[in-house]
Amino acid sequence: MRRQTCELCDFKGDVDLVRRYRIIPEEVTEQAGITQYKTVRLCPNCWQELSSWYSANISGVTYDTAFKRFRDRSGPEMIKEYEVAYSRFREHKKSHLSI
Ligand SMILES: [Zn+2]
C-alpha cells in the first residue's frame, strides 16, 4: 500500500491512516458559500490535536466595537478564524519538531 506523510509531523503511514482532512469544517465553508476548500494530509494524532486546538482557539462570536456588543461571526469571518488557527497550529507543531 502507498505510504503517505503527515504534513505536520512527517509521520509516514498507510493511506487509510494518514488521510486527507478539511482544515475548515464543511458547515463553515458551506455557510460562506464555498464548495471546494483545500485539504491536508494528517496522521490521526495531529488531527486529534488540531481538533482540540480548534476547540480551544476558535470562537463563533466576535465583539463588534461599533455596536459595543457581541455578535455571531459571519461565514467569511469564520473561514479567516479557522485559517489563522490552522497556521498557528502548524507553526506550533513545526517549532515543537525542531527542538
Ligand atoms: Zn502528524
Mean pLDDT of 20-47: 93
Residue 95: what pLDDT? Answer: 87
Ligand 1 centroid, distance to 93 Cα (angstroms):
9
65 C-alpha to center of ligand 1: Å?
Answer: 39
Residue boundaries of the structural domains of the chain: 3-98
Grid look-up 486546538 returns 53
Give tens-digit pLDDT for 51-76: 999 999 999 999 999 999 999 999 99
Percent of the chain with pLDDT over 70: 96
Q: To 5 degrees, how large is the angle CA 89–CA 50–CA 85?
A: 40
Question: What residues have their beta carbon closer than 5 A to ion ligand 1?
Answer: 6, 8-9, 11, 43, 46
Place of cell 488521510: 19
Q: Residue 99 pLDDT more than 60? A: no
Question: Is 58 in contact with 72 (CB distance < 8 Å)?
Answer: no
d(CA 29, CA 19): 20
pLDDT of amino acid 35? 86
